[in-house]
């Protein structure tokens, strides 16, 4: 085995032969390096995609700072190397290494993966292999790292159940330190790995798949999911941080040397959403709404600007326009950061939010593109998905934006939604045309030059813990036909660009979104066949994936297209999200009737979350 010094020499030599060497160098401003022997617990945070994607992820910044503030623990970062670096590492026997100390993955006590999207799953297996960590959890030795995972996709942990020792479900600020402490305390005891896993299962929000037995019915559906140890609960309740003002948030974070996807300060102003869009998993699993106070945000913003030097700050949340004091927050931040010329961007805006005053404030700084999400082209379909917005809302808000000096607008839509017709697609083109007209209706002396309207149409993927979790996905053939139809419709609209996702990629997302444990065989076969970094279109090979399904003896159509029965036990129901399945089914039935459900701020709709201690006060305030 090579020494660390020899690895360093090899790594330095390899960096001269790869694209984007800063992906692997480390040493960024605000990165944390602790002497290896000075800490009791070494935690490797793994983002299963490239550096520029992972460094844009807010959750990584939170957990990185959270663990590193513990004096006896250290958190170091790992990212999936690009194909050129991966090939060199395999050829020269250099294992996957951390950015901070360049220690190999296998040397860490605990490895944590974030599950942000289904097509990153093969990268997890590839990173374990490259880091010389046993891939299957049941085969790991006592001294190998404990592999954990969290994030939104952990709400259906089953496709990765064969590879992850423990999943952390829900908000990670509190459960992460409970888990790291348990691993730290177990490490010197000499007790078997199973003892630790049973202890982890006793922590709220921790699901240990090896402590559950899954049986399947003759038709392929899940017949039962039962604990096989007394320490494992029947269902694993997710973790909920009830007060964001007291929750940990970093006041500095590593600043990359190279360009990343979102290269700015991300200031999380609130968490959760009360709108209840029926396709949206985040709107369900991040309930209840919790806001940070103006004073907390003001303090964080000042410290983050000083620590990073960024000239743009994004007010981050699922729906920033719903923050209760948004205009006041923007005025305060602009006043505080005026000397540093920091621009404020407003992503994730709802088109029915009260935005005019906020837009007038932000126009004093640089104007970034504004994003609105009508999601559907007609009011009927918007009612089906419970979007709760109207065409008039959109026209008023984009007019405010154009009057405020913006000329670049992004419109997000979804195709393949339940009950969709071609009339709904016509509505997308019609809305785009009307947005263009709104721009030209603004007097020339008040509008900015260079109109850019981008229409993005993603394909509907049914997600767990949503009213549409029982729905099948639209077929690839149908989605391709709809994309072609929209492309022709929008081609005639001046100033509009049309973007859409590959239907084959969305098809695989649907398979793994609602998949079960048997899909672990597919993931292994896919990695064996070279399927990695599939979120990058130039590396995605759909036919290879189909070969992996054949290798595993499984039918992907069954997973993607099948409509589940009302009483069917769904693979992810071992996890208790707090949302009652009766509420979800009721919302599913209302969708079939195009009946809307009110915003939770207008009164409780009985989703079930208020049965949990700690969120009752939030429910009483109308935030659940």
Ramachandran assignment for 190, one of left (phi > 0), alpha (psi -120 to 50 degrees), beta (any other) = left
CB atoms closer than 10 angstroms to residue 553 = 10
Show the 3-state SS of 68-79. Answer: HCCCCEEEEEEE
Pseudo-torsion of CA 504, 510, 512, 514, nearest 10°?
A: -160
pLDDT mean by block of 10 residues, the chain; 624 residues: 73 93 95 97 98 95 97 98 96 95 97 97 98 98 97 98 98 95 97 98 98 97 98 96 95 92 92 94 95 96 94 88 88 88 72 53 56 93 94 89 86 97 97 94 88 95 98 97 96 91 96 98 98 93 98 98 97 97 97 96 91 61 46
Q: Is the distance from CB of 238 to CB of 285 less than 8 angstroms?
A: yes
Q: Return the beta strands (E) in 399-462 as ranges.
A: 408-415, 452-459
C-alpha closest to that of 427 among 383, 389, 381: 381
Q: Which residues contact 122 (CB under 8 A, 6 or more apart)?
A: 523, 526, 527, 531, 532, 534
Domain range 4-237, CATH architecture: 3-Layer(aba) Sandwich (3.40)
In whole angstroms, give the CA distance from residue 95 to residue 20: 19
In whole angstroms, give the CA distance from residue 202 to residue 233: 8
In whole angstroms, give the CA distance from residue 484 to residue 326: 39
In whole angstroms, give the CA distance from residue 485 to residue 425: 8
| Residue for token pair 């289904």 | 118
Phi and psi torsions of 225, nearest 5°: -135, 110
In whole angstroms, give the CA distance from residue 611 to residue 620: 12
CB atoms closer than 10 angstroms to residue 284 = 27
In whole angstroms, give the CA distance from residue 149 to residue 154: 7
Q: Is the distance from CB of 46 to CB of 111 less than 8 angstroms?
A: yes
In whole angstroms, give the CA distance from residue 433 to residue 490: 8
| pLDDT at site 353 | 55
pTM of the prediction?
A: 0.94
| pLDDT at site 614 | 65
Helix (H, G, I), strand (E, B) or coil at 441: helix
Reading the block at residue 322, the tokens are 């719903």
Q: Is the distance from CB of 399 to CB of 610 less than 8 angstroms?
A: no
Q: Is the distance from CB of 398 to CB of 371 less than 8 angstroms?
A: no
Show the 3-state SS of 61-104. Answer: HHHHHHHHCCCCEEEEEEECCCHHHHHHHHHHCCCCECCCCCCE
Q: Is the distance from CB of 359 to CB of 569 less than 8 angstroms?
A: no
Strand-by-strand arrangement of the 110-114 sheet: 73-79, 41-47, 110-114, 146-150, 166-168, 206-207
Q: Return the beta strands (E) in 555-617 as ranges.
A: 575-576
Q: What is the DSSP string of 206-270?
A: EE-GGGEEEEE-TTSSEEEEEESSTTS-SSEEPB----TTTS---S---B-SS--SS-SEEEE-E
Q: Return the beta strands (E) in 276-316 as ranges.
A: 290-291, 312-316
């Amino acid at each position: 085995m090579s020494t660390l010094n020899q690895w360093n020499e090899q790594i330095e030599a390899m960096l001269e032969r790869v694209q984007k060497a800063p992906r692997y160098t480390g040493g960024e401003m605000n990165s944390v390096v602790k002497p290896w022997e000075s800490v009791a617990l070494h935690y490797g945070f793994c983002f299963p995609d490239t550096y520029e994607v992972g460094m844009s992820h807010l959750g990584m910044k939170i957990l990185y700072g959270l663990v590193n503030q513990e004096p006896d623990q250290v958190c170091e970062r790992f990212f999936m190397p690009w194909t050129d670096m991966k090939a060199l590492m395999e050829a020269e026997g250099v294992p996957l290494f951390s950015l901070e100390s360049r220690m190999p993955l296998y040397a860490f006590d605990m490895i944590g993966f974030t599950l942000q999207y289904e097509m990153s799953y093969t990268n997890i297996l590839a990173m374990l292999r490259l880091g010389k960590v046993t891939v299957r959890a049941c085969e790991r030795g006592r001294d190998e790292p404990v592999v954990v995972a969290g994030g939104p996709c952990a709400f259906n942990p089953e496709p990765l159940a064969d590879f992850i020792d423990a999943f952390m479900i829900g908000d990670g600020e509190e459960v992460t330190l409970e888990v790291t402490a348990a691993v730290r305390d177990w490490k010197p005891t000499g007790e078997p790995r199973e003892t630790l896993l049973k202890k982890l299962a006793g922590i709220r929000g921790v699901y240990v798949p090896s402590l559950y037995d899954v049986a399947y019915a003759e038709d392929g559906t899940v017949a039962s999911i039962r604990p096989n140890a007394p320490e494992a609960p029947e269902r694993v309740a997710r973790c909920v941080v009830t007060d964001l003002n007291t929750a940990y948030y970093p006041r500095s974070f590593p600043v990359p040397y190279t360009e990343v996807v979102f290269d700015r300060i991300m200031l999380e102003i609130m968490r959760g959403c009360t709108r209840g869009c029926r396709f949206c998993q985040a709107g369900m699993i991040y309930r209840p709404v919790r806001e940070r106070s103006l004073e907390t945000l003001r303090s964080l913003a000042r410290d983050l600007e000083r620590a990073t030097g960024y000239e743009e700050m994004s007010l981050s949340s699922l729906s920033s326009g719903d923050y209760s004091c948004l205009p006041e927050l923007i005025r305060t931040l602009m006043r505080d950061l005026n000397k540093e010329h920091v621009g404020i961007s407003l992503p994730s805006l709802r088109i029915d939010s009260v935005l005019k005053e906020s837009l007038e404030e932000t126009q004093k700084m640089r104007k970034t593109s504004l994003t609105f999400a009508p999601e559907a082209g007609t009011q009927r379909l918007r009612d089906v998905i419970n979007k709760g917005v109207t065409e008039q809302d959109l026209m008023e808000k984009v007019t405010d934006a154009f009057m405020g000096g913006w000329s670049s607008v992004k419109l997000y839509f979804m195709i393949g939604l339940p009950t969709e017709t071609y009339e709904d697609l016509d509505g997308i083109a019609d809305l785009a045309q009307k947005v263009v007209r709104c721009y030209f209706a603004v007097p020339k002396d008040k509008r900015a030059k260079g109109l850019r309207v981008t229409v993005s149409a993603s394909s509907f993927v049914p997600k767990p813990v949503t009213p549409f979790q029982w729905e099948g996905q639209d077929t690839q053939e149908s989605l391709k036909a709809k994309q072609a139809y929209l492309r022709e419709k929008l081609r005639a609209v001046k100033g509009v660009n049309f973007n859409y996702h590959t239907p084959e990629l969305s098809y695989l997302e649907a398979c793994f979104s609602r998949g079960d444990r048997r899909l672990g065989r597919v993931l292994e076969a896919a990695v064996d066949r070279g399927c990695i970094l599939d979120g990058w279109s130039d590396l995605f090979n759909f036919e290879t994936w189909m070969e992996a399904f054949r290798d595993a003896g499984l039918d992907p159509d069954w997973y993607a297209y099948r409509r589940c029965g009302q009483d069917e036990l769904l693979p992810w129901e071992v996890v208790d999200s707090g949302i009652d399945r009766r509420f979800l089914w009721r919302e599913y039935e209302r969708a079939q009737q195009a009946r809307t459900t009110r915003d939770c701020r207008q009164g409780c709709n009985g989703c079930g979350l208020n049965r949990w201690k700690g969120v009752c006060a939030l429910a009483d305030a109308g935030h659940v």
